[in-house]
Structure 1
Amino acid sequence: MFTKEDIHAATSRIKSGSDFPQFIQELKEMGVIRNDVYVSNGLSAYFASEEEVLQISPEEYPDLVISVEPSVEKLKHALKIHQTGETGFISFCEHAADAGVEKWITDLKDMTCTYYDTAGNELVKEKISAT
């Protein structure tokens, strides 16, 4: 199974959302099948199986309040600027919180990333491009 050090090495190479497909490819090669990220506190859960989970909390992460008014439009805008390299991870999370995103789940089998509001409703589901 992958380690915290493996994940940190892969995340250290991410500078913006444009690096996300390469990051996902690295996770996949490590054996990660799913990654859940919680916007309010930055907690990331990396799954090797439903029973094997590695949780990592960032050392420096702002306390974010999730908007109770989800906005697909705000989220799509945040994704667009993040994927073109205009924002880093923390800025993207701040924008996602403002758009009402509680968490996102990256499914490395289906190669999708799905964003959910606090009620568990799907806001946006994107296909991850291969690198």
Structure 2
Amino acid sequence: MFTVEQIKAAHSLVKSGEDFPGYIKTIKQLGVTAFETWVEDSHTLYMGANNYQTQSAPMYTALVIADVYNQPAFEAALKAHQQGKTGYVDFCKDCAVNGVEKWFVCLHAMTCSYYNRKGNEVLVEKIPA
């Protein structure tokens, strides 16, 4: 099964949201079937076959997640990140101030779903193959 170290090596090649599809392809080849990332500190739970799970450590000091989801501002920040205009930590800060608590990536469906603090799915995107 895959390790957090293997995933970190793949993630180290990601400089912006433009690189996300390549990262997804790489970790899918490692055996990752899904992962859930919490914006607060970027700790991530990775899932694989046969109920295999491993979790990464926090990446930064905890951010405060806004109570209210700001759809227009979040979607603008997401678009900027996907165009390579922001790095990962800046994107996480944008998520926090705009009320996004976590995202869940399903590698079978090739989707990334974003959730607010109430646990409501607020946006689902198809990941380009």
TM-score range, shorter chain: over 0.9
Identity %: 43
Give the CA deviation at 1:49: 3.5
Per the alignment, residue 123 of structure 2 pairs with 124
Per the alignment, residue 82 of structure 2 pairs with 83
Per the alignment, residue 47 of structure 1 pairs with 47
Q: Aligned partners of 1:34, 1:103: CA distance in 2, in Å?
A: 13
Q: Aligned partners of 1:86, 1:124: CA distance in 2, in Å?
A: 20
Q: Aligned partners of 1:82, 1:50: CA distance in 2, in Å?
A: 33
Q: Which has the higher strand share?
A: 2
The one-letter amino acid of 2:11's match is T
The DSSP-based 3-state class of the residue aligned with 1:33 is strand
**5+ residue gaps, structure 2:** none
* Stretch deviating more after TM superposition (17-26 or 42-51): 42-51
Per the alignment, residue 95 of structure 1 pairs with 94
Aligned-residue Cα RMSD (Å) equals 1.1
The one-letter amino acid of 1:63's match is A
The DSSP-based 3-state class of the residue aligned with 1:129 is coil
Q: What is the count of residue pairs matched by the alignment?
A: 129
User: Are 1:12 and 2:12 counterparts?
Assistant: yes
The one-letter amino acid of 2:121's match is E
The one-letter amino acid of 1:37's match is T
| Residue-by-residue CA offset, 1:76-106 (whole Å, 9 max, x unaligned) | 0111000000111100000000110110000
Per the alignment, residue 23 of structure 1 pairs with 23
The one-letter amino acid of 1:48's match is G
The DSSP-based 3-state class of the residue aligned with 1:119 is coil
Q: Aligned partners of 2:70, 2:88: CA distance in 1, in Å?
A: 19
Give the CA deviation at 1:123: 1.0
The one-letter amino acid of 1:12's match is S
| Residue-by-residue CA offset, 1:21-53 (whole Å, 9 max, x unaligned) | 000001110110101000011101110047211
The DSSP-based 3-state class of the residue aligned with 1:18 is helix
What is the TM-score normalised by the length of structure 2? 0.95
Q: Aligned partners of 1:4, 1:107: CA distance in 2, in Å?
A: 17
